[in-house]
Structure 1
Amino acid sequence: MPDAVFCTACGAHQGTTGQSGNPRLRHTHYAAHPGEHVGQPSVFSTIFPHLGHGRIHEFRYAFLGALAVLILLVGTGLVVAALLGAIFLVPILYLVYLYEAQVYRDEPATVLGFTIGGGVILGLVVSIVADKVLQGTGKETTVGQIVGLTVILPIVQVIAMALPAVLLRGRPAFPETIDGFAFGVASGLGFSVAEGLVRFSNVFTDQGLQTDSANWIAPLLSVAILIPLLHGSAGGVVAASLWRRDRSGNARSLGLAGVVVAVALSIAFYLVGELLQINGVAALVVLAFQVLPVAALLVYARFLMHHALLEEAADMGFRPAVCPHCHRHIVAAGFCPSCGVAISAGPRSQADLGDPMAAGAAEVR
């Protein structure tokens, strides 16, 4: 295909090395969203990998609008309502994403039950046990409590939140790493809902309809943004890392290290937060530092998904399709020859199993 910008078989960029670095690695063109660098810590194109450019913006605007409403609720003293909305904000968006992209294909009950449902159940168990075991009665936090809250608990959380998604591994309908990642994110978000409900249970039961809103902005931002992103991306990375055993090259290396990276960055998130709080650092400054491990985890997820897509999409045969990213009518194998997106990263539907045009049509509608 001489006029193609990207090789439709392997995804390599057809430009010069100076334009795009290594054309086969194509780190300047993320395989799920070619307009972005792989190392760009973009939230929405990372955790919603099946959505095209236009749909990503719609989800972004919906999130920002909802977040503004939550901040307004806090400002008017409706803290309980704001916290409940914050706990469910990202998980509800993800449910809409799973429906829009049809990631679960024709098994919605199984996928949603195992991932979000399983995440909620395990999240309740882990959070309730941790609350009983690790919360001391004294005014000062002991070294044992710090180790338990910032090291042992994150390890248990990462294992527990990915487990429901990993149980779907090996099902013929979900052979690709991107499936495992999406299911892991869903499981992690279910876990975050349960953790948030347990964490703020005293607030829900003891506070009145309206309460003093001072000092609630930082907890609101944490439960609405950072905790869901941490748990979702950690669950996604672990599930994606364990999804396939037949990887090679960079995808294999990133997969082998994925569990360790997810655990290490989760520990860093909680350890940094706890140590800064103990030393009297302002809550918003603590959040600013906790953004760093979350961003690093998002970037790692992107590199893992990018190299997995490059490897797995190369096995597909030629077929007519409408690109889910640039919407052009193409004859392609694993990648759009015009924009370079991995075709498997497009929206799924029952129709696309028999008609490759369906993925693009679903995005164009």
Structure 2
Amino acid sequence: MVALPVSGLELGLPDDGSKPPSTTQRKAYDMLAQSFGKGFNGPLTVVVTDRAAATAKKAAATMGSKIRELDDVAVATPAVFNTSGDTAIITVIPDSAPSDDATKDLVNDIRSLATATERSIGAQSMVTGTAALNIDVSDKFSAALMPYLLVVVGLAFLVLILVFRSLLVPLKAALGFLLSVLASLGAVVAVFQWGWLKDLFGVEQPGPIMSLMPILTVGIVFGLAMDYQVFLVTRIREAYVHGADPRQAVVTGFEHSAKVVTAAALIMICVFAGFMSSTDSVIAALGLGLAVAVALDAFIVRMTIVPAVLTLLGRRAWSLPAWIDRVLPNVDIEGERLAKSPAADARPEPATELSPRH
């Protein structure tokens, strides 16, 4: 349930409209918005260029007239040319704020017009400005999130196969990590984007989540989650390979590791919860996401789901197909081969007492 809001995740870069009302940046932002409109805080600059001045002039006139017909355009200034007449700029003031979806739609519409104008007339047109730059950066981060997540989870899966000599244990660890990340992002979306409990967390203006935050969350949560996973499951596997039955191994490993994992998780939760007191919405959102992720991963995933699944799987949890077992090197972290070696069971023979010579 906590992870459901992540389906509505919207990424963007914060502007001065997300600052606390007491800051000078926010006061200036509000003053400009009230005096000239919300879009004045994020004007768009359209650049039209061509080697032939006549072509550039024709394309600039076409772009200017068509931009003024678009929705969400408050003002589109006449084209201003350079001295050689081959490059012109058109300043476009949207009706909406820089971080609104309407502004993003407007940027996409202008770029579609630029493509159509280039095909019909030949001059090249481009859109820039702070709002357009923020949209492009957010799109890049959004496109990189899924490949980044696949690389992180995939490499973790391969390393855990090597460590635990199992397929089911790494698979369970990867799925648990994904559950923790999705739940943390869902909590951030619910509070900082949708505005749920915003007064409790001091959210002044709900809006898009900072573009870099999901990638930061995945990286930090991955490190902490794998730390808890390895620390807890290594102790369980150690008991198993030294002769304990699967159920008793879970009990033994949990008894030895639970207190340390609990203490480490509580420390990190308190540290990240301290970020939520920041007046900067980006830091506060990051603190909430990480605190929720650590709490869920440590207490729900690693210390509840993991022991339960290992108990249900029994010996199957530690099985590995023979062909994979032959290919993978055996790092033997738990000393399994040492415990099973004949030398470990060998006992020195008692010394023979020599009789004195007569």
TM-score (norm 2): 0.30
TM-score (norm 1): 0.30
Larger Rg: 2
* Larger RCO (CA under 8 A, 6+ residues apart): 1
